[in-house]
């Protein structure tokens, strides 16, 4: 059996795989087992912010793997302390908790919110947004889109979902019992929708007024992808809690929760924990990633290159009627189509560019922050050509 047949035989049938097997990557390029080269505009779904196999991240992992990989959180380790200090110095927060993934960070944030509510005597809801995606574990599922909840029974209680960017919908639940507002500053799976700045400031004021928590899920839009290290900086607000993952480890699995002292204090000894979270190997990868982002000024690179990419594709809208809108911030961008777009990603793959389609008709472009302009031009050409081809093909049927 070839590798695809073995995958089909042994793995859960949970993924609709692309018809290629990748074997290596460097920067914004990857290669398959037949030697074909691709420009990667998906970056492991907004994970490889510093590109594939960045030499400094690889070296940090190799060195740490030869010294100490895992000891549990019964012990203090220097990589964890160093990464915690770096994140707090970069943020407007006071404490960090490390996890292994984004969904674990969200689960931790839910626990903190419920513990906060218990201490405050609050009985009201946690508010989330239509189109949200916060992960696939049961608590995270309860915060997200209904289509991901189907078939898994009763969801976590005390969650209310309202339209994104609609303050009046939030205000309907605004009282002293309100527990928290969960929001992605930029919705990823929901189709690359950016929150309005006024809306975010009004949410901050509302949460202050009712002593509720404002929780930002920056798992996809954080770690410099938005053009700022934290996406909350775009809105001139400071949330009580921020969840992080994806780009934090430079391709190595790690998640984190950062919070203000007041909020972190509700989780006393023994109320939360993790076996693998914050292990020395993951933290060494994370610390190296943050150093690369700083040294290469990748937040600014993301802002400038993202603007260039949006304008480059927008310029094609006059001659390509299939493009309805190009939107995003930094290097988190979506090209919304006016027809079902799932086949567009396959056409791009054939042209040697990796992307995906989310929300049924939005081509998601989330490449490494150090992608070159030459590679971005290849991406833009492939996007537009693939949209044109697919639109014409669908018009025939």
DSSP secondary structure code for residue 182 in this structure: E
Residue from 116, 133, 164, 252 carrying the catalytic annotation: 133
Q: Which residues have CB under 8 Å from 26's CB, separation 6+?
A: 51, 52, 53
Per-residue tokens: 103: 């969904």
Secondary structure (3-state) at 338: coil
Q: What is the pLDDT of residue 157?
A: 95
Check 97, 122, 182, 217 and give the catalytic one: 217
pLDDT for the residue numbered 185: 98
User: pLDDT tens track of the chain, all 397 residues?
Assistant: 899 999 999 999 999 999 999 999 999 999 999 999 999 999 999 999 999 999 999 999 999 999 999 999 999 999 999 999 999 999 999 999 999 999 999 999 999 999 999 999 999 999 999 999 999 999 999 999 999 999 999 999 999 999 999 999 999 999 999 999 999 999 999 999 999 999 999 999 999 999 999 999 999 999 999 999 999 999 999 999 999 999 999 999 999 999 999 999 999 999 999 999 999 999 999 999 999 999 999 999 999 999 999 999 999 999 999 999 999 999 999 999 999 999 999 999 999 999 999 999 999 999 999 999 999 999 999 999 999 999 999 998 8
Question: Which residue, among 271, 229, 172, has the nearest Cα to 49 in the 3D structure?
Answer: 229
**pTM, entire model:** 0.97
**246 annotated active-site:** yes
- DSSP H or E run through 181: strand 180-183
CA 307 from chain centre, in angstroms, equals 19
3-state secondary structure of 255: strand
Axis crossing angle, helix 280-295 with helix 55-65, rounded to the nearest 10: 160
Helix, coil or strand: residue 254 = coil
Q: Is 40 a catalytic residue?
A: no
Strand partners, 257: 97, 243
Query: How distant is the alpha carbon of residue 315 from its chain centre?
Result: 27
d(CA 397, CA 389): 13
Concatenating the DSSP letter of every residue in 94-120 gives SEEEEESSHHHHHHHHHHHHHHHHHHH
Predicted local confidence at residue 397, as pLDDT: 80
- Out of 229, 246, 252, 305, pick the active-site residue: 246
In DSSP terms, which residues pair with 243 in a beta bridge? 217, 257
SS3 of 346, please?
Answer: helix
Q: Is 133 a catalytic residue?
A: yes
Which token pair is 326?
């190009």
What is the per-residue pLDDT for 375?
Answer: 98
- The reported pLDDT for the residue numbered 1 is 87
Per-residue model confidence (pLDDT) at position 165: 98
Cα–Cα distance, 51 to 395 (Å, whole number): 37
Residue 216: per-residue pLDDT:
98
CA proximity to 58, closest of 48, 71, 44, 43: 48
In sequence order, the 6+-apart residues with CB closer than 8 A to the CB of 269 are none
> β-pairing, 353-354 with 37-40?
parallel
Long-range own/partner contacts, residues 22-27 (CB < 8 A, 24 or more apart) = 24/53, 25/52, 25/53, 26/51, 26/52, 26/53, 27/51, 27/52, 27/54, 27/368, 27/370, 27/371
C-alpha 22/C-alpha 356 separation (Å) is: 16
Separate counts of helices (H) and strands (E) for the chain = 14, 17
Phi, psi of 354 (to 5 degrees): -100, 125
CB-count exposure of residue 238 (10 Å: 0-12, 13-18, 19+): middle
């Amino acid at each position: 059996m070839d590798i695809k047949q073995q995958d089909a035989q042994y793995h859960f049938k949970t993924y609709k795989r692309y018809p290629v097997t990748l074997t290596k990557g460097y920067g914004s390029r990857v290669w398959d087992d037949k030697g074909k080269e691709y420009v990667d505009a998906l970056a492991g779904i907004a994970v490889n912010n510093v590109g594939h196999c960045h030499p400094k991240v690889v070296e940090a992992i190799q060195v740490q793997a030869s010294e100490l990989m895992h000891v549990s959180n019964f012990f203090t380790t220097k990589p964890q302390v160093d990464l915690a200090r770096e994140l707090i110095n970069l943020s407007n927060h006071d404490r960090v908790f490390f996890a292994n993934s984004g969904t674990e960070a969200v689960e931790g944030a839910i626990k903190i919110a419920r513990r906060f509510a218990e201490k405050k005597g609050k009985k009201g809801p946690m508010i989330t947004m239509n189109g949200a995606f916060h992960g696939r574990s049961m608590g995270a599922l309860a915060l997200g889109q209904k289509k991901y909840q189907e078939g898994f029974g009763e969801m976590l209680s005390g969650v209310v979902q309202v339209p994104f960017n609609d303050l009046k919908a939030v205000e309907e639940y605004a009282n002293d019992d309100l527990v928290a507002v969960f929001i992605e500053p930029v919705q990823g799976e929901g189709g690359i929708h950016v929150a309005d700045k006024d809306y975010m400031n009004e949410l901050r004021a509302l949460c202050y007024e009712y002593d509720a928590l404002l929780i930002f899920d920056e798992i996809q839009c954080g770690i410099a992808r938005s053009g700022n290290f934290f996406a909350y900086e775009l809105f001139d607000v400071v949330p009580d809690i921020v969840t992080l993952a994806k780009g934090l480890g430079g391709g190595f699995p790690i998640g984190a929760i950062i919070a203000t002292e007041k909020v972190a204090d509700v989780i006393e000894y023994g109320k939360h924990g993790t076996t693998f979270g914050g292990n020395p190997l993951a933290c060494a990868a994370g610390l190296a990633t943050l150093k690369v982002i700083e040294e290469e000024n990748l937040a600014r690179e993301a802002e400038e290159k993202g603007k260039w990419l949006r304008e480059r594709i927008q310029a094609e809208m006059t001659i390509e009627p299939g493009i309805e809108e190009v939107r995003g911030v930094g290097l988190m961008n979506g090209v919304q189509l006016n027809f079902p777009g799932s086949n567009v990603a396959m056409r791009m793959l054939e042209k040697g560019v990796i992307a995906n389609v989310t929300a049924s008709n939005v081509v998601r472009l989330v490449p490494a922050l150090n992608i070159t302009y030459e590679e971005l031009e290849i991406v833009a050409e492939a996007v537009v050509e693939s949209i044109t081809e697919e639109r014409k093909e669908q018009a025939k049927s």
